């Protein structure tokens, strides 16, 4: 989870670099329930670099002045609020394939040497290129309909990421605020008054001496 609440799920055998993470400070409830479908709480700036492999991302709706960019060897993807998957593969011969599938929102991808392409909801952008001594040369750009199974997988993985974050928050909340033992409300009877433990016995008094009569 990134500071602005967006989530990134990195697939196995992938390489990702965080090149810039900027977040304007903001106030939030302590260990609040996390929901990355709501707008971000404050302006932010995020730049990632996908060097190989794939990732699934849920970018929150960004505020004016925020940006979220993922750089790949064949071009950058810019997002202002979307759920999508991005994959980049390169074989030993130098042939590369980059695939951007958008489940919802809009992702703008700019192929190397080309113009920006908007990939809207339920669309799949395919870019094939060749890596040579002169650098990257894009050979093929085409859009398709995103398969329903791929769209559901993107949404499922983003939902899993959101649940994982909430579980971490719940564990942290339990550690910070451990449960307290219940208050003892047992009513105990008062001890009876004038018990031998409360008062010592009174010793008997000596009888008074009789008065002598007055005589001649």
35 vs 90 pLDDT, higher one: 90
pLDDT value of position 35: 78
End-to-end CA distance of the chain: 121
Residues in the chain: 216
Q: What's the whole-model pTM score?
A: 0.78
Cα-atom radius of gyration of the chain, to the nearest Å?
37
d(CA 191, CA 210): 44
131, 90 in Cβ contact below 8 A?
yes
Task: Tell me the average pLDDT across 11-28.
Answer: 93
> How distant, in Å, are the alpha carbons of 17, 40, 117, 201 from that of 69?
12, 16, 14, 92
- Domains and their CATH numbers in the chain: 7-176 (2.60.120.1440)
pLDDT value of position 204: 67
16, 35 in Cβ contact below 8 A?
no
- 160 phi and psi angles, rounded to 5 deg: -60, -40
* Residue 193 confidence (pLDDT) above 80: no
192 vs 48 pLDDT, higher one: 48
Q: Which pLDDT tens digit goes with each residue over 69-103?
A: 999 999 999 999 999 999 999 988 889 999 999 99
pLDDT value of position 174: 82
Q: How many CB atoms lie within 10 A of CB 88?
A: 23
């Amino acid at each position: 989870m990134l500071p602005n609440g967006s989530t990134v799920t990195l697939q196995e055998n992938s390489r990702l670099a965080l090149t810039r993470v900027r977040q304007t400070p903001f106030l939030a409830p302590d260990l609040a329930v996390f929901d990355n479908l709501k707008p971000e709480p404050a302006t932010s700036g995020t730049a990632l670099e996908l060097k190989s492999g794939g990732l699934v991302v849920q970018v929150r709706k960004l505020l004016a002045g925020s940006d979220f960019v993922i750089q790949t060897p064949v071009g950058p993807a810019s997002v202002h609020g979307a759920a999508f998957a991005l994959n980049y593969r390169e074989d030993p011969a130098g042939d590369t394939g980059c695939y951007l599938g958008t489940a919802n929102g809009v992702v703008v991808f700019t192929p190397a040497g080309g113009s920006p392409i908007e990939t809207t909801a339920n669309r799949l952008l395919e870019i094939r290129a060749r890596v040579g001594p002169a650098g990257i040369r894009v050979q093929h750009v085409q859009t398709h309909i995103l398969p329903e199974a791929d769209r559901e997988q993107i949404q499922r993985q983003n939902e899993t990421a959101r649940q994982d974050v909430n579980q971490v928050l719940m564990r942290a909340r339990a550690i910070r605020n451990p449960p307290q033992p219940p208050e003892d409300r047992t009513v105990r009877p008062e001890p009876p008054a004038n018990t031998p433990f409360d008062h010592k016995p009174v010793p008997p008094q000596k009888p008074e001496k009789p008065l002598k009569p007055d005589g001649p």
